[in-house]
Homo-oligomer: A and B are copies of this chain.
């Protein structure tokens, strides 16, 4: 129970942010707890509803996770590795698609609907809006049905947003109309944000943001990110995220945020408070907003 003064203060404090973000498009990549833990998911959906209700255009991209592995295992399939990377066989791709596009995507869609948001699930196959080519390992070895995005056709996304619908994207695409390919969900989010020239791209995971020497980096600009190249403090998982961040900033996305989906309402707090709760990356350093 919050006292009245704090309620009105919070609403009034949100006003400059509401003004700034109104009519903008925000792409949110959901991963980790926010996708799987019930209360984190509820908190996230509430935040999305809030953003949409105040007039922000939101696009969601989700990843997958252990569900696909579990189904594979249940079906008795043995994973195969190429240079330490998991190889995606046609059967793997089929399982991944069923879990991502059939189960996780539709579960998010249904949950949004119960909160009054008209969500529509898409994969890159729908309207052929994500175009890909096969991705190889860094040494050029075949990784199977893993794709690299060559183009995002934003027509269907804008059409749905214009109609008041929330697009929720599963990171799957088709190479030739017959083969199913798996894509990195962070890459999907960054490519969609770049193609739509979004105001914000938000990567939601299970960590608070970019941590250096156990300290959360609250803000960083493009130059500072580039200075991190080769910095051993940046853990493996952060490297590709930072790479997508720099690409998005260079393509015209105004801000990229890393936030923790386990923290209740981290999205609202990051977007609607002065200090935020995660890491914010911009092309060049300026006051947080």
A36 interface residue (CB < 8 Å to B): no
Contacts of A13 in B (CB 8 A): 2, 7
- Name A160's closest neighbour in chain B (CB-CB): B159
Main secondary structure of the interface of A (DSSP, over half): helix
Beta-carbon contacts under 8 Å, A1-26 to B: 2, 4-15, 18-19, 22
The 9 closest A-B pairs by CB, nearest first: A102-B102, A114-B177, A10-B10, A8-B265, A113-B128, A98-B98, A98-B102, A110-B174, A118-B127
Say whether A289 faces chain B, with CB atoms less than 8 Å apart.
no
1/0 contact string of A171-185 vs chain B (CB within 8 Å): 010101110100000
Given that A11-B14, A54-B55 are contacting pairs, would A156 and B118 also be in contact in the complex, using a CB cutoff of 8 Å?
Answer: yes
Copies in the complex: 6
Known A7-B10, A7-B13, A102-B103: A53·B22 in contact at CB below 8 Å? yes
The verdict on A282 contacting chain B, using a C-beta distance below 8 Å, is no
Partner of A272, one of B7, B97, B118, B265: B7
Interface, chain A (partner B; CB < 8 A): 2, 4-15, 18-19, 22, 46-47, 49-50, 53-55, 74-75, 94, 97-103, 105-106, 109-111, 113-116, 118-123, 125-128, 155-156, 159-160, 163, 165, 172, 174, 176-178, 180, 264-265, 268-269, 272-273, 277
